[in-house]
A and B are shown apart, each in its own frame.
Chain A
Amino acid sequence: MSTLPLAAPDFRATLESRDVDLSRRTLRTLQINLTKLCNQACLHCHVDSSPKRTEHLSPEGVERSLELLKLNPGLEILDLTGGAPELHAQFRELVEGARALGRRVIVRHNLTVTLDPHPVTQVSMEGLPEFFAAQEVELVSSLPFYEQYFTDKQRGRGVFGKSLESLRRLNEVGFGMPDTGLELTLVYNPVGAYLPPDQATLEADYRSKLRAAHGLEFNNLFAITNMPINRFADDLRRRGNYDDYLQRLVAAFNPVAASNVMCRDMISVDHRGQIYDCDFNQMLELEVSDAGSALTIFNVDFARLAEIPIQVGSHCFGCTAGSGSSCGGTTE
């Protein structure tokens, strides 16, 4: 049974035809992909991270990132991702520096990194929960499902059990617990070629199941759509699902979700300091450029950046399908 490849409609033309504004808003978030090194190698990972990847932001890049925060008070949020950002040698220095400047710091924390030794140095990472609590960072942690089957299928055998142990340690230091102010958000994403369920319904399921079965607490759940790029795209193609999946995303285009996509008020920075509109554009190497030269954290002029259109492609239908998808969950 063969399927004819179906061309996705042009994303920008779709926005225009539905009268959706994709201009930049005031920049609030500096998201940095600190390193592609990770203790895991997940099926859905759009970064293709693994214990074998070594790319990481240089000491000059770390210093410049802190300088940008200092010079631009409007950058309220430092959002650290990877790979596992905690595995970067200057992770703690960067977090402490940003917190000392009074910024919110979000860490995209995969939970298991606490329990595995550092893949390169073999140093124990078990002090992370206490560090996170002391710095009052906001944790956003992937837990693809509240049961073992889907979680281990996506992230590897044993990941569910380790994730629960890590969540227990985070609860112990106050994350996800009432009245501590230590925010713990879990992230759901589908294990395969389908769209996420309703975020609020799923959050209620996660809360009741994790509490009843494991005595665990968290604050919020984000439901994120899998982006058809890199490792997940390869898996879709291998199964003959790529065209169907893209068509599902296109058919579910939601103009309300589209008007609130994350690229309107954030920039994404790679390990070389290069600037992109989002983490997905970063992986596709769709860099932001000004008159032909790539913008980096070393040469960026934020006033000028505001005038440069956001780069889009067919993958953007992943952020605008259904209730929308972003690093902050649905966007409706």
Chain B
Amino acid sequence: MSYYEPEDLKNFPKVGTFKPDLWEKFMAYYQAATGEDGALSKREKALIALAVSHSRQCPYCIDAYTTGCLEAGATPDQMTEAIHVAAALDAGITLVHGVQMHNHLEGLGA
């Protein structure tokens, strides 16, 4: 038993048990943002979602968007490039905070 059980994803709609109006607004927004071709194709959106799923480390989303990418016609090479983009951004985001470290070092006169 862990906090993340794959079967729990099917119970996501339980979150809408209370304040269903907010849940419905979220679902409509989610569908509009991710589930339709727009300026970006559904495949491109699925690859972005897969990258974000890794960066935010959501196992539900990783499962869902691995399938979602395949069903949108993405290849394993494209999916792997997407998570490398996420990993590179994560690394860069960590490193760019080094500027803060430098600012503080300089502030200390070090």
Interface pair B75/A1, CB less than 8 Å apart: no
Those of A70-126 within 8 Å (CB) of chain B? none
Interface residue B106 (Cβ < 8 Å from any Cβ of A):
no
Taken together as a complex, chains A and B put the C-alpha atoms of A1 and B7 apart, in Å, by 9
Taken together as a complex, chains A and B put the C-alpha atoms of A149 and B5 apart, in Å, by 30
In the complex, the number of residue pairs spanning A and B with C-beta atoms less than 8 Å apart equals 30
The stretch that binds B, out of A15-23, A175-183, A188-196, A296-304, is A188-196
Interface pair B6/A1, CB less than 8 Å apart: yes
Number of interface residues of A (CB under 8 A): 16
B5 partner residues in chain A, CB cutoff 8 A: 1
Task: Give the interface size class of chain B.
Answer: 10 to 19
Interface pair A198/B7, CB less than 8 Å apart: no
Interface residue A197 (Cβ < 8 Å from any Cβ of B):
yes
Taken together as a complex, chains A and B put the C-alpha atoms of A48 and B108 apart, in Å, by 74
Q: Which residue of B lies closest to A193 (CB)?
A: B67
B108 to chain A, nearest CB (A): 51
**Contacts A1-B5, A1-B6, A3-B7 given; does A202 touch B67 at CB 8 Å:** no
B76 partner residues in chain A, CB cutoff 8 A: 149
Q: Which residue of A lies closest to B68 (CB)?
A: A194
Mask: chain A, 193-222; 1 = CB below 8 Å from B; 0 = not: 011111001100100000000000000000
Interface pair A198/B73, CB less than 8 Å apart: yes
Interface pair B73/A201, CB less than 8 Å apart: yes
Where the two chains meet, the residues of A that have a C-beta atom closer than 8 Å to any C-beta of B are: 1, 3, 145, 147, 149-150, 190, 192, 194-198, 201-202, 205
